[in-house]
Amino acid sequence: MNWFDRRAEQLVKEDNSDCVPYFVALGNVTKLVNFYTSHNQLEDAMLVSQVACEGAIQNSRGTTTRGKCIPTEDHNGVDEPNKDYIR
């Protein structure tokens, strides 16, 4: 864990929204979404998720989550129909 990770975690523990740019810079979408949802900022959490799905947030390794966040199941956990079932 590097200095930026430790600093972001410290700010989260202090309930300080200054952690947001750290999480964006680190590409830690999960922790950023968790921070926003814990503060009932659901619109911000959804926007961060959307931007990450579109590939605009890179993680610390320089890769994106583009295409990896498209669900294969709906929100109820039921498989979506594939093309064979659609007429």
pLDDT, one tens digit per residue, over 23-35 is 999 999 999 999 9
Q: Which residue has better confidence, 83 or 72?
A: 83
pTM of structure: 0.69
Mean pLDDT value of segment 49-78: 65
- Domain that residue 40 falls in: 3-85
CB neighbours of 21 closer than 8 A, spacing ≥ 6? none
What secondary structure does DSSP assign to 17-81, as a single string?
TTHHHHHHHHT-HHHHHHHHHHTT-HHHHHHHHHHHHTT--B-TTS-B-TTTT--SB-TTSPBPP
Report the SS3 class of residue 86: coil
The domain tally of the chain equals 1
Residue 13 has pLDDT above 80, yes or no: yes
